[in-house]
Structure 1
């Protein structure tokens, strides 16, 4: 736009001068003057390579006017002869005076007055920045970001100064070092100049160029930013770009990052997060003292907390952190975990403290010219910066957090070190909150599995065998407890939860079982209190009673949930787990055997009566109790709670419920079964009746929770004395290969002791379970699963007493 303005102004000037001289003098005088003026302007513009195409057109016009003057003075013959000669000259001018299209833009161009001053004075260096283009030795440089001068030599300005009239030879291609330690273009030979100009012309990006040429360019950028204090952003971006190509050189990396740091210290370059992060990356794991001073001072001056990624780099080089292979084996996972933990514990807390004093930070230049202080009046200014105090003490919690993260990832690191390890198994060794930040190796397979079992509910009912297959667990009718817990961790690694969860039920899955998969909103995902553990014992019993008369109606399910929610003060996660537990219990076949031993282990007779009363309350809350439900209650009272069946009617009468004589004719657990159409039982929720017994039931629930907590405490803190009852003791020789038995390690001590006798009364079994800190039902299931697969039958038979199959053991010992 500005070039067009110059062109238009010159045309107006030429026309005005021609008309003015014609009026004041004569036509011939105006022709002579305008020819001289146009010739002078075109020569000046061509000499300084300014709007060359336009200048050549002016010069060709001048040649035509000269031919016209000759013809006007000498005649037509001389006109045609001069046209022939000057036509050839014009063609040569047009061909050999090269035009680099746009030329030098007005950003760095000189005004007419400046051009005239330049002609009569010594040429001065100038900077070619963004938006400029120039031709040097046949090379066209775009946005060169260099200092140039229109002379053959120029002393004492800068080592990077390129003289436009110095000879340009041919680029060198050699692996040998050709430049001195502090290179300078004033001492370079023509071939070295050509190598440098060629590197500039090809975008300053050849990674194989001798590093000295990169430093020559850097000298100019350093001078432009620190001395001229202009084009700061252009210089900053270019230095970062060069770091990306030549940052492998420690010398160049130190000088380049040092320049950017000093520009920040001087306050002429804004320390944006992207810039600081880039500088950290180029510090190659070691942050210089100047960089740390700049970083902490900037945060202190602006009252900004230390961000997580900056804290990571500072902690990584702190001498107090543990040096571990975790940092190399699991670098990506470690940084993500550190970020999570830092934001949990330290976010917005660490602001470096200043004592109000400042100190001066000097700059060591890369350029030999700036080091000598040549070419400018003053040296590079030092920067005034805040003094930070007690930073090491303030940063100590972050160092501890860093070391804690290493500990958290050691198990994962060990697994990834083994080339044969399944990636999904290594993934489950990560902390659960970190798993949610990373994509699971089997995420796509898992998504397809859930999609095939999706429904309108927020709960997926998925066969355990499908999850086991995905987790590389081979078929067995009863999955071991350790493998069941592995399945639970596998599901959790996708950010989901499983119900029932064997990690708190201590009950393994069966291969043909279904499991409920759900997403929980709150952490921790596993129940922390015994409230839900108690609920998980009562729910299957309540469902068993409700199913006795047919399918579980929606109102009945609602009563069960609300009743347990109120009595046991369930959390939001527990409530969602309860819904899932009911769904999966309806899908699976309910086994009362495991519940029976769990209740025997946890509760006394009084507490069992409280559970029985809860079941009666739930059964009677919707339209009373029918005969089938009464029969189911009596069965549970006798076989599970070890209570008299007469207590059922006693509780029914005590609570004021009625027994409906009419039976509901439908097939257990199946909707829409064929047969005589019987009007469905009307579901009437008797809220008044629930309120009447509310206080008593809440008090009972508290006692049951206390009993569970007390049992857990006793199991974890007390050692039960060895049982001294006289019994038939088996020979230890029959079980010499205990270490080879494929059951969970924590169950093996229980197993080794229980096979020492043939008969075990229930109270002794309970004491033995407490001693070895196992759950009876879980231990018996795992032992019998192993014996069924390996010995062909159950090793331990259940009844009034536990009986160990001595014959099986003898056979095992004989083998």
Structure 2
């Protein structure tokens, strides 16, 4: 102890005298200042602030007497808030001390607050509408720093900032970016988060907040979980704007969308409406879960779910008609899918199990583990290649069927619902207003006929131009599908009507299939044409002649009902537009005399098919014989020959009954035989195909250039290895057992398959695809390269 004291004394003695003098002076000055301040503080009567950031020395509404008040300048308060410098407030002596309150902490300071959807918040004088952000000065992460999504109002913000410029690194954080970048981010938020030209870094900062709210907050707060639908809607909106701009954002946002869509593991998702999802390198988890549940339950895949699978499968290629006409494509896919598979495809229950591992984008998640969802024994059927191949065949067939409509829309984008375009589609795909027009027309026809001009028909159906030949035929087919027949029979080869020509619309009973190729019908048309021509030859197609012909047509029971309906409509057209007798004679000139006599005898047979021949029929037959170049006097001999049953072509006489006359089977067979003979003679004579048409012909279809390249297998791999690669990319880690199940579903050997994937990844990007043995890890560097 004595040695220590001696040592200290020696040390002090070594200090120069000048230093001791300086120390003594400092002490004296300090004591003087202390007592001076203490004296001033005891008489001022002023209570100062606590000196914390964000607090001024007094509230603006607190006042002191004018004679004694000394105000704090705005610049002093500003320095206190910005620079955390204490502010001294001095006032003169007063008889009554004044009291000043410490101001409340601004609402945006302190622990962060989640701003709900639809709410407004103001930061740095900028009004931000829509909510869905965190605002405050504290929002901790496991690593200790503030969450990168947090909008901290204590941070400086520049007066100007352009969010279209890149001003931050790969892992942006609001607290760490520059004041100019903060201004740009706030401007983007204030603008509605919708400018497609915004740098993707600003979108990611906002996305970080959605990610935290949907996963971390929702794990412990039911109110946050209730935000899932709102977050899902916002993610879909952002993906629609920025999904194509950044593959990285598309995949991160798609994964979070999977999370909020399936975090509650909905049962029988295949029966629920299918949400919208972006197309990425894998089928969205919601779709995979719904398909897996259908496989477990052994139920067919409904058409809407099959459509979503076909659209979102990364190996499916949608050509121009599907992308240009998405609504028509979807409707037609559902129609054809149901035609092929009835209630739907039935999927096998394969080995690969469904699992979601979310790979967070935000650095605020560092320190959180096991961000995954499992689904029990629900299989991932999208690993299988056979089902999706069947759907791709439907996609291709539907796309090909849509090509004419797609070409029309490409050339006439403003006339999508005009008749010219709709005629390229099945009537089931027509818009509601067009279908209503058809139904109104059908109601107008009823069970009878309607005679209108062709132009009136086109106007009612919203035609913009004169129809081409192909579109006129398409119109006839469309009307036929609605149970409406048209005369002239353009589908049977009749001359196409001009806009001013009359057409006859008539009802076709449901369930009847029209056939125009039978000899009986062709011969009957000739009979009606000849009869009407000779009846109108004298310039007077009388009502009695018309009714007589109608009665004749209705008595021809050797014809099918659909033929009778069309012949009656054809007869109504002949009343307004009779067949030219001169034109008929010219057409019949190539026939020799024997053929003409055969035709004349057939007319006589048909005339008494009802068991009798009236004087008016005899008169008409004489005119027909004359047109055919056959001696009119032969009418009586031919009629008597029929009645007597003479000649090979003469039918059996019908027996009279109380209800009138009817044909027995033998007579029907004879008429049909004679019809075939006459039809053979007339083959091609009465077709109008070789006549000039009043409308333009359909231009040859052009080959459209596809804007989207047809995708090949991932990394150039074959179908099975590409499917395995896409599956592996869906989460960062796989056990060897899980990989074995997936490889078995694809008929692959797991070790050989992994080696193939690694070789392909090295060839394309000079990195391995996976690493590890028992626990296989997908190389994150490869994933970043694929996302880019």
Query: Is TM more than 0.5 here?
Result: yes
More displaced 10-residue stretch of structure 1: 610-619 or 597-606? 597-606
Write the deviation string for residues 164-194 of structure 1: whole angstroms up to 9, x where unpaired. 5444444522643111111123423444444
Decide whether aligned partners of structure 1 residues 139 and 379 sit closer, same or farther in structure 2, where only a CA change above 3 A counts: same
**Which residue number corresponds to residue 257 of structure 2?**
260
1:228 maps onto 2:228 in alignment = no
2:198 aligned partner: 209
Aligned to 2:571: 582
Alignment partner of 1:130 is 2:117: yes
| Counterpart-to-counterpart distance in 1, 2:148 and 2:498 | 80
Q: Is it true that 1:393 corresponds to 2:386 in the alignment?
A: yes
Match among 561, 565, 569 for residue 570 of structure 1? 561
Judge which range, 301-310 or 229-238, deviates more.
Answer: 301-310
Out of 500, 505, 510, the residue aligned to residue 488 of structure 2 is: 500
Q: In the aligned structure 2, how far is the partner of 1:406 from the partner of 1:359? A: 31
- What SS does the aligned partner of 2:211 have? helix
Deviation of 1:142 after TM superposition, in Å, equals 4.8
Give CA-to-partner distance per residue, 1:426-467, whole Å, 9 cap, x none.
9489656269727999x99x99xx99x999964234269998
> Is 1:650–2:640 an aligned residue pair?
yes
Moved more, 554-563 or 327-336: 327-336
Q: Does the 8 Å contact 1:141/1:200 carry over to 2?
A: yes
The verdict on how the C-alpha distance between 1:418 and 1:650 changes in structure 2, with shifts beyond 3 A counting, is: same
Q: Secondary structure at the match of 1:698?
A: helix
Deviation for aligned residue 1:212: 1.5
Cα shift at 1:577: 2.4
- Return 389-398 or 427-436, whichever deviates more: 427-436
Q: 1:312, CA displacement in angstroms? A: 7.3
Q: Is the 8 A contact 2:622 2:635 kept in 1?
A: yes
Gaps of 5+ in 1: 1-42, 50-55, 64-80, 105-121, 474-482, 656-685, 712-765, 786-815
Whole-Å separation in 1 of the counterparts to 2:559 and 2:497: 26
> CA offsets, 1:315-356, max 9 Å, x none?
6968687x8666678777666654543444345222443237
Please give the per-residue CA displacement for 1:580-610, whole angstroms capped at 9, x wherever unaligned.
2121011122346649849979989778745
Which of 207, 222, 247 is the aligned partner of 1:218? 207
Of 233, 239, 261, the residue aligned with 2:235 is 239
2:716 corresponds to which residue?
none
- For the residue of structure 2 that corresponds to 1:776, the secondary structure is coil
Match of 1:776 among 685, 688, 699: 685
Q: CA deviation at 1:520?
A: 4.8
Matched, 1:297 2:285: no
Larger RCO, structure (CA 8 Å, separation 6 or more): 2
Q: Contact 1:540/1:590 (CA < 8 Å) preserved in 2? A: yes
Q: Do residues 348 (structure 1) and 343 (structure 2) align?
A: yes
Bigger Cα displacement from structure 2, 177-186 vs 529-538: 529-538
In the alignment, is residue 459 of structure 1 matched against residue 433 of structure 2?
no
Alpha-carbon deviations, 1:677-700, whole Å to 9, x = none?
A: xxxxxxxxx984644434444333
Using the size of structure 2 for normalisation, the TM-score is 0.56
Task: Give yes or no for the alignment of 1:283 onto 2:273.
Answer: no
Shift in CA distance, 214/240, structure 1 to aligned 2, threshold 3 Å: same
Contact between 2:137 and 2:154, CA under 8 Å: does it hold in 1?
yes
Match of 2:396 in 1: 403
Q: 1:215, 1:246 → 2: CA distance?
A: 10
Secondary structure of 1:161 counterpart: coil
2:426 alignment partner, SS class: helix
The residue aligned with 1:314 is 310
State the distance in 2 between where 1:234 and 1:402 align: 33
More helix by share: 1
Please report the TM-score for the alignment, with normalisation by the length of structure 1: 0.55
Measured in 2, the distance between the counterparts of 1:409 and 1:776 equals 36
1:200 and 1:413, CA in 2 relative to 1: closer, same or farther beyond 3 A? closer
**What corresponds to 2:529 in structure 1?**
540
Q: Which of 602, 619, 629 in structure 1 is aligned with 2:617? A: 629
